[in-house]
Amino acid sequence: MDDSHYREVRENGFVRLPRLAGGKALARLRGAAACLAELARGRAASDAHFVLEAPGIGGWAAWQQGTGALPGVLRSADRIHEHVPEFDAVQRALDLAGGPVAGAAGGRAGTLVNAFLWAKPPVVGSAKPWHQDMAFAPPAFGPGEHGIVTVWIALEPATLRNGCLEFIPGSHVLGMFPHTGDRERLPGEPPVSGAVEPHVADGHLPSTPAVAVELEPGSAVMFDGMVLHRSAPNTTAGEPRTAVSFVYRVPRPAWTRTEPAVVARG
């Protein structure tokens, strides 16, 4: 990762990494994703590691409310490097922690703390609202001590049509925005009627226009854990959007503010 990439992360909160996982690496990630899909095939309900899609309401809300989901149709999967160790092997082979992540963290390698599959099936792929990843980090990841850098790799084309990621440039230096919604229920807790996925409401968003990051398969976007981002629903008839993300703990970036965001809107 060159200095220009570092400057983009520092100034905008995100940077494109074209052709990060090409050829064999992309094939390995797709093969690992197919293994995850097979693990989900017989599931009829969501849990903390496998969230199934649900038309209209979306997978996360359906899981929290205890309502019906589409059997075997993944919306997301958590800790995928433990379910399918090939994911961990690929991120090590690509040296994401010591390469691009270290480049974004002032030269210090990141520590892998989680990995996810993000699926948006055609027609039913639900939206992910505006949020900051640090809002969902464990207490040990408080912005006073650590930061988060995520490498999000497209396994299929990610486009405006099928729900690519969108970012608000510069929002990562404004502090923590208030997130509205319900916390994720713990194992054994009862369903929450009318549960709403945590998000930053429109009235709290900066006025800076959002930037959509469209990606070809094998290309990636790397972003700071404080940058605001979202993805729209996939309303296409036959264009799935599947990606994997690797999340790294890094020393708190110098630009991270620990106080709440105060946003002036024009």
130-149 pLDDT tens trace:
999 999 987 767 667 889 99
Angle 67-70-76 (CA atoms, 0-180°, nearest 5)?
Answer: 95
- Asked whether 79 and 115 are in contact (CB, 8 A), the reply is yes
Mean pLDDT over 13-29 rounds to 96
Q: Tell me: the pLDDT tens digits for 73-82?
A: 999 999 999 9
Q: Percentage helix, strand, coil, to 5, in the chain?
A: 25, 25, 50
80: nearest Cα among 126, 23, 30: 30
Task: Delineate the domains of the chain, giving CATH numbers in brackets.
Answer: 3-64+72-186+193-251 (2.60.120.620)
Instruction: Work out whether the CA dihedral 216, 217, 220, 221 comes out positive or negative.
Output: positive
Place of tokens 């210090």: 108
Tokens of 1: 């990762």
**Per-residue pLDDT at 261:** 77
Confidence of residue 239 (pLDDT cuts 50, 70, 90): very high
Confidence of residue 266 (pLDDT cuts 50, 70, 90): very low
Tokens of 86: 């090939």
- Look at 50 and 138; give whichever has higher pLDDT: 50
Confidence of residue 259 (pLDDT cuts 50, 70, 90): confident
Q: Tell me: the pLDDT tens digits for 171-221?
A: 999 999 999 999 888 888 899 999 999 999 999 999 999 999 999 999 999
Percent of the chain whose predicted confidence (pLDDT) is above 70? 95
Work out the mean pLDDT of the chain and round it to a whole number. Answer: 92
